[in-house]
Amino acid sequence: MGKKLTEMAEESSIPVADELAKLSILRGVGTETISDLFDQCSVRMLKSGETLLAAGRPNRKMFLILSGRLSVHLDSKKSKPVALLQAGQTVGEMSVLDGSPASAFVVAAESTRLIEVNEETFWRLVNASHEFAKNLLFLLAQRIRANNVTLSESARLQSQFERDALFDPLTGLNNRRWLEARLPRLIKRFRHSGQSLSVLMIDVDHFKRFNDTYGHLAGDIVLSALGQALMEQLRPTDLSVRYGGEEFVVILPSADLAGARIAAERLRTAVSTTPIVTHLEATLPSVTISIGIAQLSGDEDAASVLGRADVALYRAKNLGRNRVET
């Protein structure tokens, strides 16, 4: 059990009243009201690592921090702290206000001195002091505002993480995870509409040899250049994907085999005539690509149409590379 404030005032070289006056929640509260605290409240000492509040446990006290720091944890005492409470701040008031259990673990980050304000004294202060009630509302508004900022930032980060998870950072194209989620939906939509849909499976010819000769950084430049060519040579409605390694997939909505071949030949020609320029402005030989085409037919699924495009790609490889096959 902590000592009464009157006892602390007698023992301390710093008047406890001076410490109380520094607390934001008591700003403007009359000295007579503050003096009443000396008779009603105790000072509690926490050692570093000691738990003040545990999530899910009942709490009927507000704590005013005189010195030290408290860390706030959501999942467990060992989880990363979401906040640090300094001298002059408060904790526990929400449980007193709505009667709910503690919503987080609150632990002493270092030796900490606290004033314990029980539920009865808390409501006496609210009723007796307009300034205390106003300070409390201001404190709660700050907490809500801070929580809103945190939630907004969390939503932004979540959106960014979701985007990053579906895009390839080297080329800026969609990645295989995106394709696996999106292609089945596209197939269903185009099958019901009766429109054509074709797929290109693309592979860089002799990419391992290029990497071994000029280095992996030059290989990355090749992949990035191919990604740029896909964005420049295809229609805005066409969807380009880095499938993995040096393999790419292009989805061509509303394109039959003839239209897909025209697009594939345009892309193949553009890549074969694009010089590869390093960061040091050195020009390396152009690369070529092989392309396999498949048009969606019947009731086949994503795996089937991709598989047929892949078979066509290997046919192009076996027939000499730098060509388009169906």
The residues assigned a catalytic role are: 246
From residue 296, give the alpha-carbon distance in Å to each of 134, 188, 227, 243, 307. 68, 11, 24, 19, 11
How far apart CA 19 and CA 17 sit, in angstroms, is: 5
Handedness of CA 12, 13, 17, 18 (dihedral sign): negative
How far apart CA 121 and CA 37 sit, in angstroms, is: 8
Q: Strand 90-91 to strand 61-67: parallel, antiparallel, or no bridges (unpaired)?
A: antiparallel
H/E segment holding residue 200: strand 197-204
Helices 130-166 and 119-128 sit at what angle, rounded to 10 degrees? 110
Q: Could you tell me where the DSSP H helices lie in 118-175?
A: 119-128, 130-166
297: helix, strand or coil: coil
